[in-house]
Structure 1
Amino acid sequence: MISRDAVVLGSDMLEEARAYLRLEYEEEDASLGTVLLGAIGYAEAYLGQMLLRRNAREVLPASMRWQRLSVLPVSLVNSVTGIPAEGMPFALSSEAYKIEIDAHGEVWLRVTQPGSAGRVEVACMAGMAQTWAELPEAIRLGVLRLAAHLHLHRDNPDDPGPTEGVAALLRPWRRRRLA
């Protein structure tokens, strides 16, 4: 199970999207924000990475084997909490687990002393960039083009889906995993 904090839309994001879509009035910002969040969610699912840095949590089995978190890219692991079958969750001491974060932001976890925990929850900070402006230009343009597509086709039941141009802009940053 993975949970992530919601993306917070900054005014710079909304302004750039409004300019790209040639929307003149701020009254449209609510619907534009919804479309932009949808485009970001789509891009994150396609890329296999979180775009903007925010908190995330993932629950894994408490295992002696090395396990990789699905959340990417991770910059910081905040805590590891033991989850027993019965009773209250508890903080695992730093001696009870091993964490490795590689250069690509992949986190590997091994629980060496689980105590009564059958599962562990890893709380971390993940995302490619702190702000919208720090994202690579191609990713920003891909998200904006996708938002434009979603905005244009919002009431079209026969929507053909995003253009190949969106995928071409995002593809260089796509992270795939082998099972």
Structure 2
Amino acid sequence: MQNSLYSVQYDGKPYDEFKTLFDQWQDIEYLEDFFENNKKDLENGIYKHFSIEEAIERTTLEAAKFEQTIRKSAENSIYNPDEDNTLEHLIFKSLHKDILNNNYIESKAYGVKHKSWLRVYAIRLTENVYFVSGGGIKLTKAMTPDHLKKELKKLRTTTQYLKENFIVDEDDLGYLELGSYGEE
């Protein structure tokens, strides 16, 4: 959604992070591998009592609604920015409690269900303009699992890149090449 929602596409990746994320959340094989590899967190984390099959079903159903909600809010951010169902008011919340200024706010979006484990991470450039760096399935209270640490690193790397290149609003975006900037 140009003019409100942008997304990083790293070198060597066929799609941007937003598309990749929602494709993964609809991919049964990907989800089965993910929940199998994170079975301990699924069973002992903050969302106890889910089998792998239940977790897959919950994720695919919620992801479809979540993507639709984000897209609709991005559209409203352009055409009805004063309403409550925009990216600013409905979707993204600051990742940190203390905000020093209104530029480059590291933000998170929760899935649509109560106690959702789906997360999308983005940088707020200006009101209702967000730059998605990635996302994940958060089964633990803290951001300590490796897959979530990687998402935090991508968020911080993207924030750093935007700052270093003086990108402060959607007019500065155009076509950006993050390439392998900050990637290992």
What TM bracket, shorter-length normalisation? under 0.3
> TM-score, with normalisation over the residues of structure 2?
0.27
> TM-score, with normalisation over the residues of structure 1?
0.27
Report the structure, 1 or 2, having the larger helix content: 2
Higher relative contact order (CA 8 A, sep 6+): 1
